[in-house]
Amino acid sequence: MVQSQIAPLMELLVCQADTFGLSLSSDEALLMVKHLFMVIEKNRQVNLTKITDPHDAIVRHYIDSLLFVKALEESHCPSACSLDSLQFLDLGTGAGFPGIPFSIVTKMGGLLIDSTTKKTRAVQDFLVDLGLNSRISVMSIRAEDLALCRATSFDLVLVRAVAKLSILIEYASPLLKPNGLLISSKAHIEADEVVHAEKVAQLCGMKLVSRGTYDLPRASGHRELFCFMKTAHASLDLPRKPGMAVHRPL
Ligand code: SAH
């Protein structure tokens, strides 16, 4: 870790988070900067991210992940009140996004999953080194398989950059508790993807409850965050076999 870079990166993170109304303590900012340096270091052996410039990563990984906290607050869902008693799932976590920054800020316990074992091994090391392994665990498993052993276990499912919205709805539905929320961030979304997602949501017992647009700082583009609530039983048997959601979309 380059010591002289730590303070300016923490300052950038605190300052940018503040523009979204999120006030980070210096301990929280330091944990995120430490995670960033671990990701950059590990990225030499395992393909975790294309964003290797630390300043860019502060915005595109950490501020971007903290938008999930904003979206949860702005969903006005009753479960969003007592965050530290909830359990989240980060589906397709990669290097730990958005789950690690999200938990650093909310103190919520959760599970990070990814189907790629090389990535989950790296994330397991990050969690131990950051001292977060008592409240966050990580597993190498596909979402469809997790739904067989951990059905209706999660209050929140967070997803960034994994698949189309309709596919994420199909993955999340069997994993969510009643009234649980799926929060998904999208950089670009066409109107017909949203229309299709709402149809699939109906089949899966879910409903769109909020949708917010945020501009990332440093001209890093905008994001739309969608919140879908599990409001009823799905009208089809879920999960379908691994791969079906992608290859035989609803
Ligand atoms: N969320 C991270 C990683 C995005 S890349 C970020 O925003 O940086 C998408 C990740 O999802 C990949 O690591 C891939 O292995 C994982 N993935 C894709 N489909 C999955 C599934 N069905 N179950 C679990 N992980 C999945």
**CA 7 / ligand 1 centre spacing (Å):** 31
> By CB neighbour count within 10 A (0-12 exposed, 13-18 middle, 19+ buried), where does 226 fall?
buried
Reported as a single tens digit per residue, the pLDDT across 32-49 is 999 999 999 999 999 999
Q: Which of 162, 170, 244 to mutate to test the pocket of ligand 1 (most atoms within 8 A of CB)?
A: 162
Q: Which residues line ligand 1 (CB under 6 A)?
A: 91-94, 97, 113-116, 119, 142-143, 160-162
Helix (H, G, I), strand (E, B) or coil at 149: helix
pLDDT on residue 193: 94
Instruction: Please list the ranges in the chain whose pLDDT falls under 50.
Output: none
pLDDT on residue 217: 85
pLDDT on residue 128: 98
Q: Global pTM?
A: 0.96
Spatial CA neighbour of 229 closest among 89, 68, 70, 79: 79
pLDDT on residue 82: 73
**CA 82 / ligand 1 centre spacing (Å):** 28
**CA 4 / ligand 1 centre spacing (Å):** 33
pLDDT on residue 76: 74
